[in-house]
A and B are shown apart, each in its own frame.
Chain A
Amino acid sequence: MNITHNIRVIINGQTREISVAPNETLQDLLRYRLGLVGTKSGCETGDCGACTVIVDGKAVNSCLVLAVESNGSSVTTIEGISSNGELHPLQQAFIDHGAVQCGFCTPGMILAAKSLLDEDPNANEKDIRLALAGNLCRCTGYVSILKAVAAAGKTLRGGK
């Protein structure tokens, strides 16, 4: 009775062939079926940004994307941005600047920021505010997050 679709997705660099239900969101696929629970679920209505992942270079709310829509795409989650224990500059900057408190918004924030810096390593403070405006944080007041992203941008530009 249950109709499923077979999709092929590259997740964190690994090609996966998965059968998904037509109403299954990318968030649920990642979290509850693939065990990539670093992606957080905060509202399931696209308002909080906690479930942000990168699909083909763009930051998206994975709760608003159906898993079937990601067929043929490349998906990056928080589990996929460090390599062999070496942190991504954004991850290191979030630690160093106190941009992490409860940590629930952190994966989404980092991925939204990564998508911005990948596209524009010279992003300024205003660009950073805009890129993160859809990611809610209730702990930090955003101040240290904005600082961390600016610092990571500098590192990525080689200005360490």
Chain B
Amino acid sequence: MSNDHKVIGKSIPRLDARSKVLGEARYADDLSLPGMLYVKVVRSPHPNARIRSIDTSRARNYPGVISVLTAQDIPGEKLMGPIIKDQPVLCGEAVGYVGDAVALVGAETEQAAEEALELIKVDYEILAPVLDPFKAMEPGAPQVHSGGNIGTHSKVRRGDMEAAFRDATVVVEKRFFYPRVEHAYMEPEVAVVAPDPGGGFTVWSSTQYAHLDREEVSRVLGLPQSRVRVHQMMTGGGFGGKINPHAQCLAALIAWKAGRPAKLRYSREESLISSYKCHPFVMDMKLGANREGKLLALEATLVGNTGAYLLQGKAVITKSATHVSGPYYIPNIKADAYAVFTNCVPCGAMRGYGVPQVTFALESLMDELTGRLGLDPIELRMRNALDTTLPNATGQVMGASVPIKEMLGKAKLTVQSLKPLLQQAPAKGKLRAVGVGCSTRGIGSIRKPSRSTAVVSLHPDGSATVACGHVDLGQGSDTMMAQVAAEELGVDVDRVNVVTNDTAISPDCESTSASRVTYLSGNAVRLAAAKARQRVLEIAAGDLGCAPEELRLMNGSVVYREQGVTLAGLFSKHTFHSVTSVAEFLPDTVPPDPETGQGRPAGTYNFNVHVALVEVDEGTGQIRILRYLALTDVGHMINPLIVEGQVHGGMMMGLGSALMEEVKVENGVTNTSFATYLIPTTFDVPQELLIGVVEEPEPTGPFGAKGFAEGSLDPVGATIANAVSKAIGVRVTRLPMTSERIHELLSQR
């Protein structure tokens, strides 16, 4: 791999940063169209009820109201969802959680729409809800759906469990709890939809997957997908939470019914109550090792509360099961992961996607083992870490780019360097300790192979347009795609325009999720750009009577022995206006077998090792992170500034679920504002937060790169919990570690 790249590996500031600091970037709510109506949603106040009737007559006659809609008015499909389409667009017969959508109002002003909501009378037959997943699995429990309350069951089966646990010298076993977490994107859901003169519809939305908006809006309106065009507006964060175009479908229904543009923007409260969350997990895990600390067997039962609908629940559960053994080789594994229906707020995709949950449980048990075996935590992990010859839980052997041992070596040095701080007598009533946590994750979809497509057009002035469907939600992927194309085409980054946000131009590449964009679309863009370049070089070589290999592309010219031929001249001579190439990338994967979980589900894997030094106040239970090191493995960095930003952001989001975040449900969500759902602020940033990037190129990645953006969240809960457990001398088994909870654990000592 050549290291003399011109733009790859450079900290180029994101291309949209200037428009964002000037306040010029346009988000969906910044858009206003002539004649635009405002949409408001009637939502269920009950977790479980049948709808006897809905009386909309008074709302229809309210001044300013143009349209009122219920389920029976929907012209197309009545159910929607990102993977499993099991959520009613509007509930017709029953509601499944507090916040389920029941009716819509479209009015001339937002105020009129809001006031008319009060006039819609829904007659509910209130039924007993089931909120706890274990109660939901009991016989006789209220049935959330007719097919039973177990929405999905994912398995891993390998080896002989009985024999392995018999051979184990030490067995540790505990139940762990991971909280329901809110994405807390700063921009709530927004969609604007307008009818087109030709009979189609245009959508402007805040979205993580513009093509899914297209698919769902077309299904709900009963139109071909080709008649719906979606413009992803600048999107104010997603983190997995904007892959369900519910607001888009609801706005589209009013636009369709009224024949006028319509805007729906959720209030923060509405977003917190109704949008899907990260799955809370209850995990029973049992881990056995021999005297030397070699892991022999892992048994796990993972129960995820998916709420009223499955959405992506099946895929999240599969990801958790297939990642149950973390970055370690464990020969014998039995894992059963369930998504259980309840009448809670639905859960779906969130940064981490089932991996932070199992990482918390496994890494906690790893530390329990160290105590029993008298081994250093890093040494135990080193003895079991994967390498290029050992299989993970799915039986997949990664032949390259498995730097976990190198990372553990670096972590060991950090732990040693923290010794003086640790030994330094802390203030009275303060307890200090260091904790370590490791994780791994497959990049891209685990449940099925997924391909990315890119179209690259090289223009006669040397500039280029890249069309690819993975939208940028703020993480910086458009900038990285521009870098990949610029490198291949020999132009400056600002001469490349990346179009990912228009379904009429950008090919569908599945959602921006699963840390997949750099790896999948990076490859597709690189291949398409290389193809365009090759085509141009071949044409020029024909003219010059040389081999294409003797030529290179630079700033709009083909260069041959210090002499340049302009693309403009070359294109004109050969009747080209632009040269356009298409390429696809599909990693070589095999989905996990439904009975055993065995397969080769990911094209590449990312590894993380984190170290935390914490201080716990014995009196209050309050935790302070004094030092934090996040080591991440990215293959090869395309843009160090963007890598750093992703690791900082992922780490701090993980810190939120470790220390303070939990969506509480009592019938419905009870923390309905950022005053009661607390996320980290500037005060929560550790005094010293260090990042270490390990670069071991991924042979199948673009310029050796691979995905990593979720990985920086995965081990945070585990790492902090291991440090806190050591500090207080009691094993933490439940996140978040609020002061109250730690205080309670301290009193149990």
Contacts and interface: CB of A to CB of B under 8 A. Distances in A.
A136 B681 contact: yes
A137 B186 CA distance: 7
A116 B652 CA distance: 24
A91 B18 CA distance: 8
Interface in B635-674: 641-642, 644-645, 648-653, 673-674
A44 B237 contact: no
B473 interface: yes
Q: Is the interface of B mostly helix, strand, loop or mixed?
A: loop
B293 to A, nearest CB: 34
A37 B29 CA distance: 9
Given A39-B23, A44-B268, A132-B682, A141 B674 contact: no
B653 A141 contact: yes
B239 interface: yes
A95 B18 contact: yes
A103 B183 CA distance: 16
Contacts of A41: 29
B679 A136 contact: yes
Interface in A18-41: 31-32, 36-41
Contacts of B11: 98
A128 B675 CA distance: 21
A142 B674 contact: no
Given A98-B644, A142-B682, A136 B237 contact: no
B370 to A, nearest CB: 29
Contact of B20 (A77, A96, A103, A140): A103
A20 B713 CA distance: 46
B234 A103 contact: yes
Contacts of A94: 17, 21
Contacts of A146: 682, 685
A148 B701 CA distance: 32
Contact of A43 (B21, B474, B674, B681): B674
Point out which of A77, A102, A129, A146 has the most chain B C-beta atoms below 10 A from its C-beta.
A102
B277 to A, nearest CB: 14
A38 B23 contact: yes
Contact of B651 (A39, A82, A110, A141): A141
B426 interface: no
B685 A136 contact: no
Given A133-B682, A133-B683, A141 B652 contact: yes
A55 interface: no
Given A43-B673, A141-B651, A129 B645 contact: no
A114 to B, nearest CB: 12
Interface of A: 31-32, 36-45, 47-48, 50, 77-79, 82, 87, 90-92, 94-96, 98, 100-107, 110, 128-130, 132-146
22 contacts: A42-B268, A43-B268, A79-B22, A82-B22, A96-B13, A98-B14, A100-B14, A100-B21, A101-B474, A102-B237, A102-B473, A103-B25, A104-B27, A110-B21, A130-B682, A133-B681, A135-B682, A136-B681, A137-B186, A139-B186, A139-B237, A141-B649
Given A104-B187, A140-B645, 8 more contacts: A31-B30, A47-B673, A79-B23, A87-B18, A94-B17, A100-B14, A100-B21, A102-B234
Interface of B: 11, 13-14, 16-27, 29-30, 32, 183-188, 234-237, 239, 267-268, 473-476, 641-642, 644-645, 648-653, 673-675, 679-683, 685, 689
